[in-house]
């Protein structure tokens, strides 16, 4: 190591910040947030270095920077001059803050930009909940030491807390339940008995299927899951990011082919959680937009299973972005409506007159197979079936394909055009925005 890392308590201690500008302002704000008494000075002549806990400088004349550094080092005060390592007695790290957990990354001054990039990667792996978990453990610290005086035994107990149900409950914001779980686990450990653990279910939206469009929380949960219950479409590339040894269960559905009925999926999620497993229910798009996430949540609540819902980028957003079509536009659409054309009833159950109004973009999910019926029902409702329509297949992925044209033409040729990916249909509003030629 080029330097010895330490964490300095600055609470109620004096810190001098010399200079002006963004770098000096950021450091002053940081030291203030740590409880320090920050003394801002514009020139070295104003410096009262003796007795300070720390001295930092940026945005001052060269002569002041050099004199400030020399005076601080002579007084035994740690000093940092931003981006001037030859004038520093210490360097500032890139920081990941998960209060009370702090992670500091340093390259010893060799590559500070690389240190910041590494911080960004670590940020994606360390959930904010880890800080709350540390706070919970701190609240039980004295009781845990008293009831488990044997250090190896206490260490094993804490490892189970930090990787088990208590941590899961903290992660989903169930602080009271987490405290109760910690207390019960501690009593069982002190009595020398083992508690049967219960798992948790995370409903994670995989988005359109592009791995780099999954949110950071979803990515982290995929790395922690014991078992992943996933859909058929929109999850393939995302699954490659998951923990390699996690069990994978495909419960995907397609038109007329349901690998597992919904009630059996609900029962599966409950059973896996009761076995004490961390479950990720990976769903294409967003769990709560035509993804039956609501039905799964109802089953989990009825069974008393803790759960968390992690949103995903839904198809309408991904498809519109891929096609360069805004779903709303001040000159064309003031509203957007999501509907599904995947229904068991003879008609599609869409209120065309109420939904397909001027200034409204209609985004229709799962409508490829029923597109001819959609055209016929629009005609029966009095709409011109030569209206502009857009079909977007596999939106948000590198396989995105777009077909534009009059609805009458698309209804006749769409099945021959499609290649098997999920298709979204746009009508009205901004459907004729931008290009009007067919591509794909």
Note whether 377 and 343 are within 8 A (CB): no
Assess whether 141 carries a catalytic annotation: no
> How much is the pLDDT for 197?
67
CATH fold of the domain at 316-427:
3.30.950
Q: Where are the alpha helices (DSSP H) in 75-164?
A: 112-125, 129-139, 141-147, 151-162
In tens digits, the chain (440 residues) has pLDDT values of: 778 889 999 999 999 999 999 999 999 999 999 999 999 999 999 989 999 999 999 999 999 999 999 999 999 999 999 989 899 999 888 899 998 999 999 988 788 889 989 998 888 778 888 999 999 999 999 999 999 998 878 988 998 899 888 998 998 889 999 999 999 999 999 998 766 667 899 999 999 988 889 998 898 899 888 899 999 877 788 998 888 888 999 998 665 555 689 999 999 999 999 988 889 999 999 999 998 999 999 999 999 999 999 999 999 999 999 999 999 999 999 999 999 987 666 678 888 888 899 999 999 999 898 999 999 999 999 999 999 999 999 999 999 999 999 999 999 999 899 998 899 999 999 998 865 433 44
Q: How many residues does the chain have?
A: 440
Q: Is 253 a catalytic residue?
A: yes
CATH code, 200-313:
3.40.1010.10
Q: Give strand pairing partners of 392.
A: 402, 424
- According to the model, what pLDDT value does residue 438 have? 36
pLDDT of the residue at 440: 42
Q: Which H, E and C letters describe 309-359, residue by residue?
A: EECCCCHHHHHHHHHCCCCCECCCECEEEEEECCCCCCCCCCCHHHHCCCC
Which sequence spans correspond to the domains of the chain?
14-92, 129-190, 200-313, 316-427
Q: From the candidates 231, 245, 384, 386, which is the catalytic residue?
A: 231
Which tokens hold the place of 259? 């690998």
CA 146/CA 310 separation, integer angstroms:
38
Q: What is the CATH number of domain 14-92?
A: 3.40.50.720
User: Which residue of the set 25, 97, 253, 432 is catalytic?
Assistant: 253
219/121 Cα distance (integer angstroms): 12
């Amino acid at each position: 190591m080029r330097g010895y890392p330490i964490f300095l308590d600055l609470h109620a201690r004096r810190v001098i910040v010399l200079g002006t500008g963004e770098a000096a302002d950021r450091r002053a704000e940081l030291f203030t947030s740590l409880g320090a008494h920050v003394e801002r000075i514009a020139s070295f002549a104003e410096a009262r270095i003796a007795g300070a806990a720390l001295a930092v400088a940026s945005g001052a004349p060269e002569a002041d920077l050099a004199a400030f550094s020399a005076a601080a080092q002579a007084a035994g005060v740690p000093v940092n001059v931003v981006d001037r390592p030859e004038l520093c007695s210490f360097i500032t790290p890139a920081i990941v803050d998960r209060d009370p957990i702090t992670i500091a990354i340093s390259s010893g001054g060799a590559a500070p930009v690389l240190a910041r990039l590494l911080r960004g990667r670590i940020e994606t792996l360390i959930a904010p909940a880890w800080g709350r978990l540390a706070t919970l453990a701190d609240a039980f610290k004295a009781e845990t030491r008293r009831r488990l005086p044997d250090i190896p035994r206490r260490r094993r107990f804490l490892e189970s807390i930090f990787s088990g149900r208590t941590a899961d409950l903290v992660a989903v914001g169930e602080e009271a339940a987490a405290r109760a779980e910690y207390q019960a686990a501690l009593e069982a450990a002190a009595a020398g008995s083992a508690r049967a653990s219960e798992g948790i279910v995370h409903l994670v939206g995989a988005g359109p299927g592009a791995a780099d469009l999954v949110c950071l929380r979803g990515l982290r949960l995929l790395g922690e899951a014991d078992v992943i219950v996933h859909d058929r479409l929109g999850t393939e590339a995302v699954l490659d990011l998951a923990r390699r040894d996690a069990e994978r269960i495909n419960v995907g559905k397609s038109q007329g082919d349901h690998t597992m009925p919904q009630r059996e999926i609900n029962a599966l999620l409950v059973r896996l959680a009761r076995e004490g497993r961390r479950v990720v229910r990976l769903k294409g798009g967003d769990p709560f937009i035509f993804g039956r996430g609501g039905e799964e949540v109802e089953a989990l609540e009825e069974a008393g299973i803790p759960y968390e819902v992690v949103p995903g980028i839904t198809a309408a957003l991904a498809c519109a972005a891929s096609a360069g079509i805004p779903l709303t536009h001040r000159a064309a659409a003031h509203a957007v409506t999501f509907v599904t054309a995947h229904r068991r009833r003879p008609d599609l159950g869409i209120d065309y007159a109420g939904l397909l109004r001027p200034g409204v973009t209609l985004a229709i999910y799962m409508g490829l197979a029923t597109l001819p019926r959609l055209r016929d029902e629009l005609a029966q409702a009095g709409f011109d079936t030569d209206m502009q329509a857009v079909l977007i297949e596999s939106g948000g992925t590198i396989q995105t394909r777009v077909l534009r044209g009059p609805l009458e033409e698309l209804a006749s040729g769409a099945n021959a055009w499609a290649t098997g990916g999920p298709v979204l249909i746009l009508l009205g509003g901004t459907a004729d925005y931008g290009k009007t030629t067919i591509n794909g």
